[in-house]
Amino acid sequence: MDILTSCPDCGSLLDIEYEWDKLPVPSSMREFESRWSNRRDPLDFSGVWRFRNLLPFAADKDIVTIGEGQTILQQSPVVGKYVGMNAGGLFLQYEGLNPSGSFKDNGMTAASTHARMVGAKVAACASTGNTSASLAIYASTAQLFRVVVFVGSGKIAYGKLSQALDYHAKTLQVLGDFDDALERVREVAGERGIYLCNSVNPFRLEGQKTIMYRVLESLNWQVPDWIVVPGGNLGNSSAFGKAFTELKALGLIDRIPRLAVINAAGANTLYQLYEQQGVRWDGGMSGDSVVETFFSEMDSENRKASTLASAIEINRPVNLKKCLRALDACDGVVRQVTDQEILDAKAQVGAGGFGCEPASAASVAGAKRLRAEGVIAPSDRVVCILTGHQLKDPDATVAYHSGNTALFEEKLGMRGVKTAEFANSPVVVENNLQKIIEVLER
């Protein structure tokens, strides 16, 4: 059996469409709430499969779940103030609470389920770290298939690398960056019939739709004004657009929120194409030549992505088209933020919430920019998606708080980070009661 992720003729990624009129769809999103009372059933416990009627591609018996999606939405006054919102207007969706510590588990439960449905023996992915950690945890807990992960040899955060190793995934450090690793894994998967679990896999995106269902559920099924999400390979943004388009078509919501996708300035392909060059979805038909020229210039100038937000250090986002479709459906905008803005925003997320890894804070930095531009109004309700757990990348956090910009450069390759405005530096003190009290009273 061939497992395709893209059209053999045009090369575009495959997409999943359901014949909704033949499927049991609830008449209201509130119906899903009843499943909370049946939490001993692993499918109803899962924050993904609780909504299985909205991703109905698998029979219950095939579903692979490890309790993903127990994530929460919280209002954050500290971050709201930083962004410039009115009181109560800023919400953080903590996807770092997933079993492997990032939003990837929402999609990997779906991809693992499909892998089981097709009897896959080996699954693979390329990763900046979180996808590999997620695939590896599903393989280690489900024991249904073996896993090989391809990581770039550059800046993978140790928290993430340690997960792939600890979950016993075969780990290949490709001498190249993420874009190279993804190209290679797609080739190898095609050659060897290996099941591919990157977000080129449309089932991944089906699972990631549920992040939006949980956001709506937490807001008592009220649609917020904005969803703000970091953009790397653009799987999340694509999935969110699909989720809202489907919910609207099914009459389960009455309006679609606006979507803001935030690139790191050092990995800003989407920003360049969408905001600078005006590329639009346009039914999937136009913009191809602009996009091709953009990538061929990128290759000829040997431009590589470079940002301390290593999770989104991606120059060749595979879900570009699907993301353009999402931006079209959600009246979307794209912004880029510097590494400095990302680290400052991350420190505010830590000071006023559970914390997050650098890439995740791009959402908050992006919201702040959009607020300053007046695109987001102070009275809006804004949900920033925090995609990964704070402990994924402690090096960046410690470097920032110790205010050691030389360390940024040397250890993390952080360029352009000059200040640590919100640093909470550790205080060195003598091993002596009196001295400690003196420090505390300062």
Q: Which stretch binds ligand F0G (CB under 6 A): 15-23, 278-286, 337-345, 352-360?
A: 352-360
232 near ligand F0G, rule: CB under 6 A: yes
Token pair for 250: 């099914």
101 near ligand F0G, rule: CB under 6 A: no
Contacts of 59 (CB under 8 A, 6+ apart): none
What torsion do the CA atoms of 65, 97, 172, 182 make, to the nearest 10 degrees? Answer: 90
The 3-state DSSP class for residue 386 equals: strand
The CB-of-78 to ligand F0G minimum distance in angstroms stands at 21
Binding mask 385-414 for ligand F0G (x = CB under 6 A): --xx--------------------------
What CA–CA distance (Å, rounded) separates 432 from 429?
Answer: 8
Please give the size of the binding site for ligand F0G, defined by CB under 6 A.
22
Token pair for 203: 């089932």
206 near ligand F0G, rule: CB under 6 A: no
The 3-state DSSP class for residue 305 equals: coil
Q: Which stretch binds ligand F0G (CB under 6 A): 126-134, 285-293, 326-334, 336-344?
A: 126-134
What's the one-letter identity of residue 192? R
Cβ proximity to ligand F0G: between 71 and 128 the closer is 128
- Cα-to-chain-centroid distance, residue 416: 24
The CB-of-361 to ligand F0G minimum distance in angstroms stands at 10
Q: Terminal CA-to-CA distance of the chain, rounded, Å?
A: 70
Alpha carbon separation from 135 to 46, 102, 108, 281, 388 (Å, rounded): 17, 11, 6, 31, 15
Q: What burial class does residue 20 get, using C-beta atoms within 10 Å of its C-beta: 0-12 exposed, 13-18 middle, 19+ buried? A: middle
210 near ligand F0G, rule: CB under 6 A: no
Q: Which stretch binds ligand F0G (CB under 6 A): 209-217, 227-235, 329-337, 404-412?
A: 227-235
User: φ and ψ at 333, to 5 degrees?
Assistant: -135, 160
231 near ligand F0G, rule: CB under 6 A: yes
Alpha carbon separation from 116 to 125, 239, 285, 351 (Å, rounded): 16, 22, 34, 42
Applying the rule CB under 6 A, the residues between 287 and 326 that interact with ligand F0G are 311-312
**Contact status, residue 163 vs residue 187, Cβ threshold 8 Å:** no
The CB-of-441 to ligand F0G minimum distance in angstroms stands at 40
357 near ligand F0G, rule: CB under 6 A: yes
The CB-of-24 to ligand F0G minimum distance in angstroms stands at 29
Which residue in 153, 145, 103, 162 sits closest to 128, CA to CA?
153
Q: Which stretch binds ligand F0G (CB under 6 A): 219-227, 276-284, 355-363, 425-433?
A: 355-363
263 near ligand F0G, rule: CB under 6 A: no
129 near ligand F0G, rule: CB under 6 A: yes
Token pair for 37: 């009372």
360 near ligand F0G, rule: CB under 6 A: yes
152 near ligand F0G, rule: CB under 6 A: no
Binding mask 61-100 for ligand F0G (x = CB under 6 A): ----------------------------------------
Residues making contact with ligand F0G (CB under 6 A): 102, 104, 127-131, 199, 230-236, 311-312, 357, 359-360, 387-388
